[in-house]
Structures are given as structure tokens and as C-alpha cells.
Structure 1
Amino acid sequence: MRKKGMINKTFSFILMLITVLVSTGSQANTLKLVGNKVVTYIDEHELPARQMDLVSAALASRQVNITATTQAWSGSGLRSGKFSGYIDHYSLNNEGDRYIYSKPYMQMNLHLVSRSRKAESITRLEQLYRERVGIENRFANTDQLRGEREVRWARSPTFFDNLKQLAERRVDYLLVDKAIAKEANLLLVNAGLKPLYMSKAALIKVDISLAMNREYPDAQAVIKDFESGIDSLQKSGRYSELLKLDLNRESLLDVEVYSDMVRKW
């Protein structure tokens, strides 16, 4: 009996050791990516995160973990090596020598929106000379727009704060991603309110790429797999499904979060 007990303990120990080794190996092989939080695109707590869903689907052949966090934390994690790449390189920023970039896999079209129909006739930033225009930091703090002097930017950390500026009439215009503006219009229309007026053309087009640290051993292969995955998703029609481009649905924006703003609109 004693011998049998020792055998059972030895077997249990070996089994536990194998489990730990497998788990450690799995974690070591996991591709760790990061993205800055953007409502409906990159988020946590099971909130809509269609950009993260798209990247995960494109890299379905690999074990991938994507962290949604703030710009400060993502930058720190990339420098320390905690993350091997990031999913949201904007073409408004210059490319860095430290990274390898994929072909653009998404595009954000920045349109002017307003309570006023005048927004529909705006086609370029020069027409907004000295106007106060609301914009999110993710666009304003880029290499291309940081030096823009034609417009007086009213910067906000999130889309919610940006829209709030318009709701409180602190600005007359917002420069926003068209897709998220449409989500806001779904909320407004559902509440029986007029939707935002929107410029007919995009004032700025932002291409988005995946960036991999050159020192990551498999960086080039990851980029190749990712581009191939995006191509397959586009051909199958899943690309549009993952980005939820069909607007015959409720808004992806949290109704409870925006309810007070909409009520005072």
C-alpha cells in the first residue's frame, strides 16, 4: 500500500510538472500585441472591439493575445519588450526603424460633423481657418496634425469627451472617424433626434497597419501571415462582418453611457 501511495504521488508530481511545462511553453509561444483603447474598436471587459476581433481572425493560425490599454502603458510595454507589436499604427505618424509594418488593413475616414448643415460643404481644413474644432488625441497628437496651424484644435482623450464638447456647444465642429460618427447618429435617431450633419468627403484618410518589433524572431512571418489572413477575410466576406459595417442594427456605443448626453442634446 505504501509503495502504491508513493507511485501515485510520483505520478501526480510528473503530471503537474508536465502541465507547468506545457503552460509555460504555451505562454512563451503566445504573440503578445497591444492597442490603444478606442471605443468600438479596441476595448476590454467584453465591450465591442471590432478591430481586435479582425486582427485575431487574421492571425487565427497563431496563438495571439491582444491587450487594450492607454497610450502611456502601451508605449512602456513596447519599449520593455512586454509586447512584440501593436495593431494600430496610423499613417498620420512616421514609421520607425524599430518596426516592420504590414500593408494597411483598415482605413479611417475623418469627416467633419456638426449640428449645422454647413458641415456638408466643408471639403478641406483651410475652410476652418481659426475655427475651434473638436478632435481626439489619437489624431491630434500625430506627426501630421501636431503642426497643423489652420485650425484651433479642441483636444479630447476619447470620442465620448469629444462628442460632449459638441453637446455642450463648446465647439461647432468635430473631426471624427466616419464609422463612429454613424454609431452616434444611430443613438440620436433612436432617441428621436436629428442626426449629425457630416461633410460629404473625408478631410483626412488614415491608413492603419500592424507593426511588429524587428527583434521579434518571427516578425516577418507574422506580417506575412497577417496580410494573408486579411486577404482571406476580405474574399470570404467576413471582413465586413467583423467590422460590423452593416448599420441595420443598434448602435455599438453603450446607450447607458451616452444617455445623459443624448437627453440634454
Structure 2
Amino acid sequence: MVRLSAFSLSIFTQRLSLLGISLALCCFSVSQLHAAPTKLGAASFETYISDDGEPARINALLEKVFKKAELNIQLQVMRQAFLGSSVLTGKLDGEFAYINLGEDTSNYVLSDVYLPIYLYAVSKDADVEAVKLFPHLKDNRVAIENRFANTPSFRLLKNIKWSRNPTTFDAFRQLADDRAPYLITSQLLARELNTLLANDNEETLHFSAKPLAKTGFQIAISKNVANAKSIVAQFNQTVSLMQDKGELNKPLALAWLSKDVNGDGIADFIGHSSITTASDVLDTAYSLDGKPTSDVSVFYIDGDRYATLEEARAALPAKENTSPRESLLDKTTYQQLLRRW
């Protein structure tokens, strides 16, 4: 007969318990590893969002951020008409390019703005440069995309003759055909059209004196998603660090960004050696936080701080741009528009 002492039985029980805990942790890790991804959707938006091989700055940016943050996120691009209902029915967990222009956000956990959107009035005519407020466009015909027009903020603007358009191309064509003397669009989109026009030796667009509205891209996750807050917190932290190190410049196709990195209330210039060269000018810097730059702004290249532009340029590739950058707008698609310009 085998007799087990109380001592040996106690050790056996402890080891069995430890084995059980280890197995439970292992199973939990495996379940986490194979957990279903968080599904976020967005509608196509020229140069920003696409799933058919066209330039898609937001897709490229977020894929880089999610990988860095070790977040299991799946991006889906769909028609605008299906986006809201897909979130409501649980087919999607949220949106990855949410633009808040007065909508009810109570059902979402929202991230910080990871890319601001500055909406300007643009025109072929230089008189737009005197426009500072929406009332300055009163009684004028103004082209605009439906994604902006169909929001509470714009529906409140009653004294403007809105010419609504389903796509960016249609909105730009309003200007090309002289059917609308003004267009409300994002600064980055207007820049891309100007690049296309300049490369074709056409007169470029003029901008209003300042942006008439400011919003931005956010991720918006349904509050029904159990870990929504932790996803958003990890996303915010990762984005901020990547902005400071210049890791978003290349996905956004922007040589210089600006942001108050050192917390002194003045925006600093952010570049990255993968895209910024010593010949890139500072006046094209795109603001990530809306703060102004000044003579005391410092420079960050690949996350390293430089006190002067000369020092920053010395850390950048010296190659000159031998040819103008191609526009992110497809020239073949816009060829007819260019002929009408």
C-alpha cells in the first residue's frame, strides 16, 4: 500500500494548482492572439482613403500606427450610404476616418484628431483671398462635397447657394466649368489640385485668408466594443510619439509637419530623412495642432532636436528635387478637367 503524507499531498496539490494556472494563462494568451480583429470602416475619399490601389494617405498612415501600437485592427472601405448602418448593426465596430461636423458622438469612443482637416474657400479668382468667414460668401454659388454638406454644421449655413457633389472630382469640375466661382475643400486636396495644375502649366487656385472651418480625422469606436477605451488610449499615445518622430511625414506625403513638440506653446517643424530634403521649404509645413510657428520654433528630424534650420538641413539628404512632385490626383482621370481649365 502506498501512503501519502500530508506534506507530499500538499506539494502535489500546489503543483497541480500551478499547472492549472499555467494552462489557463496559456489558453488566455492563445485566445487573445487569435481574437477577432476590431473592424473599422470608412468611405472612399480621394487621396485620403481607397481600397483599389489609388493613393490613400489615411490607409497608409493608420496601417503604420496600428502596427506600431500592436493593435489588431481591420480596415474596410465601403460606400458612404452603408457606413452608418454597418456600425449600428454591429457589422463594423466603428469608423477609422470619422469627421465630426456637429454630429451626435454619444455612441462612440473618439480618439484625438490624428490628422486635422482645414476647410478653405478656393477659387480661380484672387478675390477669394479676402474671404475670412462664411458670411463673406453670402449669395454666391459654392461647390462642396456631400460628405461636408450633409452635416449639421453646414446645413445651418442658409445664405449660400450650395452646389453639392458626390465626389472630389465632381466638386473640382464645378470650378473648371465655371459653374461655381468658389469651392469649399480641404487644404491638402486643394494643394494636390494645385500641384496637378502647376505641372500642366495652368494657373493655380487661390485660397481664402484662413480656413473657414476646422475639423479632423479620428477613429470612432462603438461604446458596445468592450475594449474601446483601451484601444483609443493606445492609439492616441502611439500617434503622438510617431508625429514627434516624423514617422507620419512619409505616409502623408508631406515633407514638413508642424506641432508644439516641446510644450512651449509654439509649433515646431517636424521632418524625416525618408522624405524631407534640404531643399524643401518650410512654408508648406502642415500643422498637426493648429498652433503657429515663429522665429523661436525648433526643428525635429527623425525625432532628434535641432536649434536652427541650418543644423536641421545638415542632418537631411542633400539631394535636390530634379523634377516637381507628381500630384496624388490621377492625371489621366483629371485630363478632361485640365483641358477645361
- Give TM-score scaled by structure 2 length: 0.68
How many residues in Structure 1 have an aligned counterpart in Structure 2? 241
In structure 1, give the amino acid aligned to 2:195: L
* Separation of aligned partners in 1, 2:183 and 2:122: 5
1:142 is aligned to: 151
User: Identity of counterpart residues, as a percentage?
Assistant: 32
Shift of 1:39: 0.4
1:111 is aligned to: 120
Out of 20, 23, 39, the position equivalent to 2:46 is 39
| More moved, 193-202 vs 245-254 | 245-254
* Bigger RCO of structures 1 and 2 (CA < 8 A, at least 6 apart): 1
What secondary structure, in the 3-state scheme, does the structure 1 residue paired with 2:154 have?
coil
1:264 is aligned to: 340
What secondary structure, in the 3-state scheme, does the structure 2 residue paired with 1:145 have?
helix
Shift of 1:95: 3.4
Q: Following TM superposition, where does structure 1 have runs of at least 4 consecutive aligned residues deviating by more than 6 angstroms?
A: none
What secondary structure, in the 3-state scheme, does the structure 1 residue paired with 2:175 have?
helix
Out of 211, 217, 222, the position equivalent to 1:202 is 211
2:331 is aligned to: 255
Shift of 1:257: 0.5
Deviations 1:145-168 (A, max 9, x none): 112112111110111000011111
* Separation of aligned partners in 2, 1:117 and 1:126: 18
- Give TM-score scaled by structure 1 length: 0.86
How big is the alpha-carbon RMSD for the aligned residues of Structure 1 and Structure 2?
Answer: 1.6
8 Å CA contact 1:57–1:229 kept in 2: the answer is: no
Gaps of 5+ in 2: 1-29, 256-283, 285-323
In structure 1, give the amino acid aligned to 2:48: Y
Which structure has the bigger radius of gyration? 2
* Separation of aligned partners in 1, 2:61 and 2:96: 10
1:49 is aligned to: 56
Out of 61, 65, 88, the position equivalent to 1:58 is 65
Shift of 1:79: 1.5
In structure 1, give the amino acid aligned to 2:94: G
Deviations 1:192-235 (A, max 9, x none): 11101111311111133211111112111110111011112112
Gaps of 5+ in 1: 1-21
Out of 91, 96, 102, the position equivalent to 2:105 is 96
Deviations 1:30-53 (A, max 9, x none): 121101210011111121111122
* Separation of aligned partners in 1, 2:240 and 2:339: 42
Out of 148, 156, 163, the position equivalent to 1:154 is 163
What secondary structure, in the 3-state scheme, does the structure 2 residue paired with 1:238 have?
coil
